[in-house]
Amino acid sequence: MYGPEQGSENLRTELAHFLSETRGLNVGAEDILITKGVQMALYLTAQILLTKNDTVIVGEPGYSGANEIFEQAGAKLELVPVDDDGIDLDVVESICKKKKIRLLYVIPHHHTPTTVTLSSERRMRLLEMAKKYQFAIIEDDYDFDFQYSSSPVLPLASANYYGSVIYVGSFCKTIAPGIRIGFMVAPSNFLLQATKLRKLIDRQGEHLLEEAMANLLKNGDISRHLKKANKLYHERRDELCRLLHEHLADEVSFKVPEGGFAIWINYINKHDPVRVAENAAELGLTVSNGIDYYHDKNFKNYAVRLGFASLNTTELKDAVDLLKKAIKKCYN
């Protein structure tokens, strides 16, 4: 027999406990749909909510993997700047006053690509605005589990009085991108539609993998893993920040991220990130060329994300040395 299209009941039950303990989400197994990563959850949501020419607000810079999904569903994007406290809500409000917004997409923790966290004040204001202007919010919390400050800000969905938030997350960062288990938490009528659509695309999820994940959650392995991983990544974040200060203070500026896997650096001397990436590739170092971050391709970007999570201390040092050489080559 096929299993339930909403995903393994054991997994949804364990996940409901996990989401409640880690993020204050007051949900049960029935409120969750298991998806193939965040990506599928975004796709399902866009297909259900959007019709041609609907307006979707996204952050700029932002996650191109989401922007493409919204455009593919026929939507028009409104690009809103992201500052140190997250997406700029004054700009969001001015857009809402002028036109009907169907959906707002937000990455509340360690925004891709800038790594900033949406402040508590903005979270509450955003929920109020969703109610006032009647738009839905997709909260993409792909990275919640990696927080290095003592008290993480809770998701919008944990204070979701009005049922306007579709919360999506994943184990693809918690364990590995190849483990394609993600989840959607949404109001029941929406979840039902998403479950039906998921069934059309993929009759059911990977049952064995889902059961294995349920066991890992139940016996505490995921929590233990996260504790260890957070400690290690915290050290690696600090080490990369230290190395950048020590070796590249004249070339890059950055803010220390509160969590996640990357540091958003700005090339102070306005080197073209494409050129730096090409120079780095010749030296054997892979660095982002920064071209996917801005939807507006005319924007001249001088910033890139540097990932630190997979590099040990020696590798981080080597990487910073090579990056320094790649930047120096831009002066030739």
Report if residue 206 touches ligand PLP, rule: CB under 6 A. no
Pick 4 or 65: Cβ nearer ligand PLP: 65
The candidate with the shortest Cα–Cα distance to 111, out of 247, 272, 263, is 263
Distance CA 242, CA 254 (A): 11
Residue whose C-beta lies closest to ligand PLP = 37
At its nearest, how many Å lie between ligand PLP and the CB of residue 10? 21
Residue 73 DSSP SS3: coil
Cα–Cα distance measured from residue 77 to residue 56, given in angstroms and rounded to the nearest whole number: 5
Tell me: does residue 261 bind ligand PLP (CB under 6 A).
no
43 contacts ligand PLP (rule: CB under 6 A): no
> What are the backbone angles phi and psi of residue 77, rounded to the nearest 5°?
-95, 140
Instruction: Give the footprint of ligand PLP on residues 91-150 (CB under 6 A).
Output: 107, 112, 140, 142
Choosing from 170, 195, 289, 301, the residue that interacts with ligand PLP (CB under 6 A) is: 170
User: Which residue, 83 or 246, is less far from ligand PLP as judged by CB?
Assistant: 83
Closest distance between ligand PLP and the C-beta of residue 179, in Å? Answer: 9
Q: Which is nearer to ligand PLP, 37 or 259 (CB)?
A: 37
The answer to the question of residue 74 lying near ligand PLP (CB under 6 A) is: no
Which CB atom, from 8 or from 39, has the smaller least distance to ligand PLP? 39
Query: For residue 171, which of 118, 114, 107, 214 has the smallest C-alpha distance?
Result: 214
Contact 324, 248 (CB under 8 A): yes
Q: What does the DSSP assignment read for 194-248?
A: HHHHHHHHSSS--HHHHHHHHHHHHTTHHHHHHHHHHHHHHHHHHHHHHHHHHHH
Q: Going by DSSP bridges, is the β-strand pair 165-170/136-140 parallel, antiparallel, or unpaired?
A: parallel
Q: How far apart are CA 55 and CA 131, in angstroms?
A: 17
Q: Can you give the length of the chain in residues?
A: 332
Q: Quick one: 168 or 322, whose CB is closer to ligand PLP?
A: 168
Told to check if 182 binds ligand PLP by CB under 6 A, we report yes
Give the nearer residue to ligand PLP in terms of CB position, either 111 or 122: 111
* Count of residues that interact with ligand PLP, criterion CB under 6 A: 13
Stretch that binds ligand PLP, among 33-41, 91-99, 154-162, 203-211 (CB under 6 A): 33-41
CB of 61 to ligand PLP, least distance (A): 11
Q: How far apart are CA 175 and CA 209, in angstroms?
A: 12
Task: Based on the shown chain and the rule CB under 6 A, indicate whether residue 89 belongs to the binding site for ligand PLP.
Answer: no
Task: Write down the least CB distance from residue 107 to ligand PLP, Å.
Answer: 5
Could you tell me which of 73, 40, 38, 66 has the C-alpha nearest to residue 201?
40
Q: Which two tokens stand for residue 149?
A: 């400050």
158 binds ligand PLP (CB under 6 A): no
Residues of the shown chain interacting with ligand PLP in the complex, contacts defined by CB under 6 A: 37-39, 63, 65, 107, 112, 140, 142, 170, 172, 177, 182
